[in-house]
Amino acid sequence: MSGIETMLGVTRRELLEGALAVGAVAALAPAAQAMAQGHSHHGEANMATITVKDGTTIFYKDWGPKTAQPIVFHHGWPLSADDWDAQMLYFLEKGFRVIAHDRRGHGRSTQTDTGNDMATYASDVLELAEALDLKNAVHIGHSTGGGEVAAYVARSRPGRVAKAVLVGAIPPIMVKSASNPGGLPIEVFDGFRAALAANRAQFYLDVPSGPFYGFNRPGAKVSQGVIQNWWRQGMIGGAKAQYDCIKAFSETDQTEDLKKIQVPVLFMHGDDDQIVPIADSAMLGVKLVKNGELKVYKGYPHGMLTTHADVLNPDLLAFIRK
């Protein structure tokens, strides 16, 4: 054995075998890259996707019997379909067809630099619902995803939607103005944009470590895994799309969207939500829909679907089955 082989503890034969193994991995790389880019439509393991009219690729998960009632989950900023793990598994076990997509610019979907607005988000969902031929579906959205649900349901074809659920959701509108005096000052959202542009990686640690899950509250049970999973999801997405999305979730007035919704809508909101304060969101939104119900969770944070899934999942099931 040569000096370098002795240091590494390998023989020439082992080096040769290692080289062959590397070659085999390299040969598989194009296939792996194709999977990562979403060129297959045969299940999540092979990156199920659709391509919408502007060429954007939208990744989605679609689990369970295709004949079962579909539940479609819409994630918040700046996350991905993975944020719904606790709900996807729960409702799959209950016999539903469960679907979750990565919004354009987020997760495994195309890192778009255009179309990062609520109307286009809704258009993408319209195309997804058509592609999967979803009928009598329940659409559940968290935070920005709640805005997406409102925008989609207001535009959906008859028969596509059975019910909607907005959890810690942004509608009617977040930013403060003369017509929305209880909103958050624009400087709050300017701060979001500045923090994202300056150091996105640190910002995406600070948000889940603090207000998102209420981990900044005295006596909070902090989960490093939850914090790291939030960071992981955020960093997979595109910085430009996530930057643009701040304007979409804070400045889009969805008053008219809410007024157009005909199906039953459940609003679920924690009264200790530090991201989307309840007084200027759910408490206003429930008055705008034709058939709305508000369920308030005392002391629960914005990320309560994760921290209190054991409570919210049965409540969601009860609403769906009602």
Summarize the confidence of residues 216-241 as an average pLDDT: 98
Element (H, E) at 287: helix 282-288
Lowest-pLDDT range of 44-48, 57-61, 96-100: 44-48
Summarize the confidence of residues 46-72 as an average pLDDT: 96
pTM: predicted TM-score of the whole model, two decimal places = 0.86
Q: What is the pLDDT of residues 156-193, one digit of tens each?
A: 999 999 999 999 999 999 999 999 999 999 999 999 99
Lowest-pLDDT range of 9-23, 49-63, 131-145, 253-267: 9-23
- Strand order of the β-sheet with 49-51 is 49-51, 57-63, 97-101, 70-74, 137-142, 161-167, 265-270, 292-297
Annotated active-site residue in 83, 102, 124, 273:
273
Residue 47's pLDDT is 81
Split at pLDDT 50, 70, 90, the class of 46 is low
Share of the chain above pLDDT 70, in %: 86
Distance in angstroms (rounded) separating the CA atoms of residues 298 and 80? 27
**Catalytic site residue 302?**
yes
Lowest-pLDDT range of 7-16, 204-213, 305-314: 7-16
Split at pLDDT 50, 70, 90, the class of 6 is very low
Summarize the confidence of residues 123-148 as an average pLDDT: 98
Q: How far is CA 203 from CA 16, 195, 283, in A?
A: 46, 6, 29
Q: Would the pLDDT of 114 be above 50?
A: yes
Annotated active-site residue in 74, 139, 269, 302:
302
In the chain, DSSP finds a helix count (H) and a strand count (E) of 12, 8
Contact partners, residue 112, CB within 8 Å, separation at least 6: 56, 104, 105, 238, 240, 241
Q: What is the pLDDT of residues 16-35, one digit of tens each?
A: 344 334 344 333 333 333 33
Annotated active-site residue in 143, 156, 209, 281:
143
**Catalytic site residue 156?**
no
**Catalytic site residue 75?**
no
**Average pLDDT along the chain:** 89
